[in-house]
Structures are given as structure tokens and as C-alpha cells.
Amino acid sequence: MTRLSVNINKVALIRNARGSNYPDLIQVAKDCERFGAEGITVHPRPDERHVTYKDIPLLKDIVTTEFNIEGNPNEKFLKMVLDNKPDQCTLVPDAPDALTSDAGWNTIKNEKFLKKTIKRLQNEGIRVSIFIDPIPEMIHGAQKVGTDRIEFYTGPFAHDFHQNKENSIQPYIDNAILAHELGLGINAGHDLNLENLTYFKKSIPNLLEVSIGHALITDALYFGLHNTIQMYLQQLK
């Protein structure tokens, strides 16, 4: 089974817009798990427009499934992760002013940095995943830096899905096979939704986890959070 981790960043964004605690992010995380989510993902950004650093220990205390913290591994981020020890840390090479993540790591260019950072996290019992594009050289590089898992950046797949879904999925199939052969676990995320998720899941062998936030929270506006999480789980069966 492929696990569904719900990214609650957009819930925090709504909360922050009014400077109050409404909606209550901690209660939403609890409810996501109660409604069937198999993990909670957060991506605290430098400007804290979504989940804030103060939210992290509160979430760590209440998440009972799998807690995944993702972000650019600057020193402030790494200290926060090491202080809170999530089940998984996903390293993402996004710029401080990025609207959203839009590319994976160059595992060759950043080999030394990634090796050091990954080992530092693993030494504290944290599973590490790195955000990556479906490119063979980058997959081989991921194995070399010692990561436990990769997370495919699925933005290009989602963008091209309606034009030619067979062409859009093929690089992910090929590189998922390669990653599995190299002993890497496979996660995926970015712009996966109710229209493309089943096709992606059925096409990708050994897919362990998907992290979905924007589309899921948007769908919840129409269908309700409980129904939406169940709909996404159904797509993964």
C-alpha cells in the first residue's frame, strides 16, 4: 500500500491570514489522522507564511502516524529538525523566496553537502528523503549520498498529464525501477490530485508514500476534509 501523508501548510496559511488560531492547526492534524491520513507533512519556510517553527514541537507531540518535515536544509532548519526528531525529513532545494518547490536536487553538484547533512540526520534516527527529478544521473547520485528515500518532484507529470499521460509518466516509471534496484525507497509529491493520482500510483512500482497538500485542501473546500481524505485514500487502493 502507498501511504497518504497530508501536507497541512495551506491550513496554516489560512490561519496566519487573520493572525489568530483559527483554524486550529493542531486540531486539523489530529482530525486528518482520525479521518484516515497515514502521515502529516509540514514545510516551514523561512518567512513562516505557512507552518511556523513554533508549530513544530506542538505537532510532534500529537502526530501518531508519521511526521514528515520538509524544507531547505539551512542551519536553522536542521537545528529545528534535530530538536524535534520527526520520523522523516525531506530535503528540498527551494530558494528562500520560492512560491513553491519547483525542482529536485542536483545530487552530483551537491554531493558533499548532501552526504554530510543526510548522515547528520540519520545519526539521530531520522529517515531521510531527498526531493529529486526523474533523471538517471540524479538517482545514481542519490544512492551515492546515502539517502534512505527519494521523493519524485511530480510537477512536470501533473502539468503534462492531460496532454499526453503516457509520455508524462514514462521518466518516473524508468527512474522508479532504477531507484528500487539501487535500494532507494520511493516517495512522490507536488500537484498530485484526484484526477492524476490513480494513474500515477498504478504506474509507479514500489511507491511507498505520496505527500499531498494544495490539491487536497482545495478539494476539502468542496467535499469536506473527512470525505476528501477518504477520496484520496481510495485513489491509492
pLDDT band at 96 (very low <50, low <70, confident <90, very high): low
CA atoms within 13 A on the CB side of 173: 10
Question: What is the pLDDT, as a whole number, of residue 103?
Answer: 82
Q: What confidence tens digit (pLDDT) does each residue in 28-66 have? A: 999 999 999 999 999 999 899 999 999 999 999 999 999
pLDDT band at 97 (very low <50, low <70, confident <90, very high): low
Cell 498529464 -> residue: 161
pLDDT band at 101 (very low <50, low <70, confident <90, very high): low
Q: Which cell goes with 66?
A: 508519521
The one catalytic residue in 38, 43, 50, 66 is: 43
Q: Round the average pLDDT of the chain to a whole number and report it.
A: 96
Return the DSSP state at 20. Answer: S
Q: What is the model's pTM?
A: 0.95
Domain boundaries, the chain: 3-236
Question: What is the pLDDT, as a whole number, of residue 94?
Answer: 83
Cell 484520496 -> residue: 232
Q: Is residue 111 over pLDDT 70? A: yes
Round to whole Å and give the CA distance between 225 and 211: 16
Asked if the 3-236 domain carries CATH number 3.20.20.70, the reply is: yes
Q: What confidence tens digit (pLDDT) does each residue in 19-30 have? A: 999 999 999 999
Q: Which amino acid, residue 121?
A: L
The one catalytic residue in 33, 38, 66, 70 is: 70
Helix ranges, 63-196 (H): 75-84, 111-122, 136-145, 155-160, 165-181
Q: What confidence tens digit (pLDDT) does each residue in 166-205 have? A: 999 999 999 999 999 999 999 999 999 999 999 999 999 9
Round to whole Å and give the CA distance between 181 and 175: 10
Calculate what percentage of the chain has a pLDDT beyond 70.
Answer: 97
Round to whole Å and give the CA distance between 55 and 53: 5
Does 75 participate in catalysis according to the annotation? no
Does 50 participate in catalysis according to the annotation? no
Q: Which cell goes with 25?
A: 492547526
Does 226 participate in catalysis according to the annotation? no
130 Cβ contact list (under 8 Å, min separation 6): 90, 91, 104, 105, 107, 114, 118, 142, 145, 147, 149, 150, 151
Residue 137 near residue 174, CB atoms below 8 Å: no
Q: Is residue 100 over pLDDT 70? A: no
